[in-house]
Structure 1
Amino acid sequence: MRDIAALTHLCPPPQDSPRPVDWAGVEAVLGVRLPEDYKRLATVYGPGVFSGYIHVYHPRGHTEFADLTGPVPGRLRAQLQRDYDQGTHPVPYDPRDLLAVGGTDNGEHLFWITDPRDAPDAWRIAVNEARGPRWFTFDGTLTAFLTSVLSGETAVPAFPKDLLEQARGFTPSLPVLSPPPDTRPRPPVASDTVRRWARANGYDVPDRGRVAAGIREAWERANPA
């Protein structure tokens, strides 16, 4: 509780209380229990960004890039696993023990080190460099990490040196409004055009006959009107 109090002093949360989170449902989706400090953090602040730089993933993130239960954590873990297996870039932890919990405007990622898996309140924080091999480890919770960094007590080498020169604060994320769907009819496209595109992109298509619906849909996604 001390860390969340210190963080709210540094970065006051929104006046409007965020909607409650179904934590049991979130943990069921992720297949793991989450740290209590993170639940308090997400409940107090909701989706948003700290000091205009550090984005913390939230179960109700307004885009897939900020959604804790969205596809990004899985994609990052898969990418790290490839690097780990192939030796492409040094990964200091088993990627299976890393769960992405945030990112920055510069492209760094924040991870929980989920070891021990059944003791989430003991998880530490790891930060990887956006365009380099360096990693930084913080021996504490996510809330303690944010408090320590934004108070100037901890300096993450990959973060901008002038980070604390910016106004400290928290900015809630706003829902992303999707444009209305385009209901205009799409002009027909010759099957030969789709076939040429499909072959160039590795699809096996016959020389004649009907192009499979899945291939035509893939062509439409790759060639929006």
Structure 2
Amino acid sequence: MEHLIGTQHPPHRLTDPAETITVLEAAVPGLLRHRRTAPEPPDWARIEGALGLRLPPDFRLLAELYPTFVLAGFLHVPLPAPAHESRWLDGVDHELEIVRDWWEDGSSIGLSPHPAPGGLLPWASSYSGDVFLWTTDEPWRVTVASRNLEWWHYSGGAVQFVAEWVSGGLEPWALPELGAAVQVFR
């Protein structure tokens, strides 16, 4: 049976996208060598039109500066890239199918999938079956659905969440510690 553990709050919620990237790069120094020399925005109008909402600025900037990456052989952060928007949207649709299944069988702690108002929208996953989502009511927050059906929230953004998880500033409820080893997929 699913279980809501609680909500963690960052000491200071970062709202400047550039600041969140700087904090992530400090937590994951190996990531910096994969940073693009200039931002390469995917077709945000296409992506956000398909989703029916605007993605958070920290995530948008992360996608413009970095390719898809995996941390510590565990956390997979797929990022939309120019000319590959459909592939990213297909991945989101695949993860949304899982969220819809949870909703239908009552395992989603009462949170409905996107496109419901405030619905859950996946942004990352683990190779162990954990799913990292946004709860899309304002302000957006991270919602973690662990493979053990233990759920919890983080009241900051996705990029800050990853940075704090790696740096140890976050209690990884129902998740392992996350190292900074990075693998990039272009």
TM (normalized to structure 2)? 0.74
CA positional deviation for 1:22: 1.8
Alignment-derived partner of residue 169 in structure 2: 153
**Inter-partner Cα distance in structure 1 for 2:166 and 2:156:** 15
The code of the aligned residue for 1:109 comes to V
Structure 1 170/86 Cα, relative in aligned 2: closer, same or farther at 3 Å? closer
1:137 maps to 2:149 = no
Alignment-derived partner of residue 178 in structure 1: none
**Inter-partner Cα distance in structure 1 for 2:102 and 2:65:** 36
SS class of match (1:68): helix
* Partners of 1:47 and 1:172 within 8 A in 2: yes
CA positional deviation for 1:29: 2.0
Q: 2:46 aligns with which of 25, 46, 57?
A: 25
CA positional deviation for 1:19: 4.0
Q: Which has the larger radius of gyration?
A: 1
**Inter-partner Cα distance in structure 2 for 1:100 and 1:90:** 13
CA positional deviation for 1:69: 0.9
The code of the aligned residue for 2:57 comes to E
1:109 maps to 2:125 = no
* Partners of 1:136 and 1:156 within 8 A in 2: no
SS class of match (2:79): coil
Alignment-derived partner of residue 181 in structure 1: none
CA positional deviation for 1:2: 2.1
CA positional deviation for 1:52: 2.8
Alignment-derived partner of residue 74 in structure 1: 93
**Inter-partner Cα distance in structure 2 for 1:47 and 1:90:** 27
Task: List runs of 5+ in structure 1 lacking aligned partners.
Answer: 117-121, 175-225
Structure 1 56/42 Cα, relative in aligned 2: closer, same or farther at 3 Å? same
* Partners of 2:112 and 2:120 within 8 A in 1: yes
- The alignment-based identity, stated in percent, is 26
SS class of match (1:24): helix
The code of the aligned residue for 2:149 comes to P
**Inter-partner Cα distance in structure 1 for 2:44 and 2:151:** 30
* Partners of 2:63 and 2:81 within 8 A in 1: no
**Aligned Cα RMSD in Å?**
2.7
Task: List runs of 5+ in structure 2 lacking aligned partners.
Answer: 1-17
Structure 1 153/29 Cα, relative in aligned 2: closer, same or farther at 3 Å? same
The code of the aligned residue for 1:93 comes to L
* Partners of 1:10 and 1:169 within 8 A in 2: no
* Partners of 2:64 and 2:81 within 8 A in 1: no
**Which is bigger in relative contact order (C-alpha 8 A, separation at least 6)?**
2
Query: 1:178-197 counterparts in 2 under 5 A?
Result: none
Alignment-derived partner of residue 62 in structure 2: 41
Q: 1:83 aligns with which of 77, 102, 111?
A: 102
**Inter-partner Cα distance in structure 2 for 1:86 and 1:6:** 38
**Inter-partner Cα distance in structure 1 for 2:133 and 2:98:** 14
Structure 1 36/133 Cα, relative in aligned 2: closer, same or farther at 3 Å? same
1:172 maps to 2:184 = yes
Normalized per residue, the structure richer in strand is 2
Q: Deviations over 1:158-214 (max 9, x none)?
A: 2224x34xxx1432114xxxxxxxxxxxxxxxxxxxxxxxxxxxxxxxxxxxxxxxx
SS class of match (1:95): coil
